[in-house]
């Protein structure tokens, strides 16, 4: 028997309660968006029943849709109030893009794989979401022609902080990005960069694991 729509709603409620709110995510708009966005539609049908579990899942092109809590954690760090223009790097399945669209005014999202960008665009369109653009290409240097951005969210790990992304933040803007650390990039940590008072403040937000950011200001290959 295939799980009913009701089952998915119940699973979303449980995911938000047990994985997201229980770990300290308190932003009410974010919790509501996560209760609303049908995460199972962002994975292949064989993975529908795993879509609300507490871990990342594979998507096409050997990439991943991040663990729900990790998406929530990064989004909460950005503290969006609904008026922002946000640059997202690494569209992947489009799940995080859908959440961003509920939390800010407009999302520009860049994905390096045309097939992922196309699928994500179809999903968002099918859900009636309109306040986004998906672009295909290397997002590691951002989108200088469209800058500045109130927030930037990078969903793939960079070898070091890309200066061009920092420069594309507006005054008061925030960026979350996973960065490699340690000898031979043995681990990754999430950082929050804030552009304030003419400078950049970098906060360390814990250990994470992401696929590599591949491009000009990222790794040269996977």
State which residue, 47 or 197, has the beta carbon closest to ligand SAM.
47
Q: In this structure, what token pair is assigned to residue 59?
A: 């998507």
From the centroid of its chain, how far is CA 83? Answer: 18
SS3 198: coil
**Does residue number 19 form part of the binding site for ligand SAM (CB under 6 A)?**
no
Please confirm whether the linkage preceding 51 is cis (ω < 30° from 0).
no
Please give the residues from 59 up to 88 whose contact with ligand SAM meets the rule CB under 6 A: 63-66
Among 20, 51, 80, 89, binds ligand SAM (CB under 6 A): 89
Among 19, 140, 168, 188, contact with ligand SAM (rule: CB under 6 A): 140
Q: Should residue 211 be labelled a site residue for ligand SAM when binding is judged by CB under 6 A?
A: yes
User: How big is the CA angle at 8 (ends 6 and 12), to the nearest 5 degrees?
Assistant: 120
CA dist., res. 79 & res. 30, Å (int): 9
Q: Please, what is the minimum distance in Å from the beta carbon of residue 70 to ligand SAM?
A: 9
95: CB partners within 8 A, 6+ apart = 37, 39, 42, 65, 71
- Nearest alpha carbon to residue 108 among 70, 212, 190, 100: 100
By CB under 6 A, residue 109 contacts ligand SAM: no
139 interacts with ligand SAM by CB under 6 A = yes
Instruction: Indicate if 66 belongs to the active site.
Output: yes
Point out which residues bind ligand SAM (CB under 6 A): 63-66, 89-90, 92-93, 95-96, 110-113, 116, 138-140, 155-156, 210-211, 213-215, 218
| Catalytic residue IDs | 66
């Amino acid at each position: 028997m295939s799980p009913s729509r009701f089952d998915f709603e119940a699973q979303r409620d449980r995911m938000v309660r047990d994985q997201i709110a229980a770990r300290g995510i308190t932003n009410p708009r974010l919790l509501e968006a996560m209760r609303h966005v049908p995460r199972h539609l962002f994975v292949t049908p064989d993975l529908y029943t795993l879509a609300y579990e507490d871990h990342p899942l594979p998507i096409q092109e050997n990439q991943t849709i991040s663990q729900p809590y990790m998406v929530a954690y990064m989004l909460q760090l950005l503290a969006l109030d609904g008026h922002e223009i946000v640059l997202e790097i690494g569209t992947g399945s489009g799940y995080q893009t859908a959440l961003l669209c509920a939390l800010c005014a407009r999302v520009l999202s860049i994905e390096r794989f045309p097939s992922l960008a196309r699928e994500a665009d179809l999903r968002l369109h099918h859900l009636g979401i309109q306040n986004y653009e998906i672009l295909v290409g290397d997002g590691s240097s951002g989108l200088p022609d469209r800058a500045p951005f109130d927030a930037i969210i990078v969903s793939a790990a960079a070898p070091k902080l890309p200066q061009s992304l920092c420069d594309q933040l507006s005054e008061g803007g925030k960026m979350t990005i996973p960065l490699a650390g340690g000898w031979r990039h043995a681990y990754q940590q999430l950082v929050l960069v804030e552009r304030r008072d003419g400078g950049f403040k970098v906060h360390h937000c814990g250990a994470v694991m992401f696929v590599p950011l591949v491009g000009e200001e990222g790794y040269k290959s996977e």
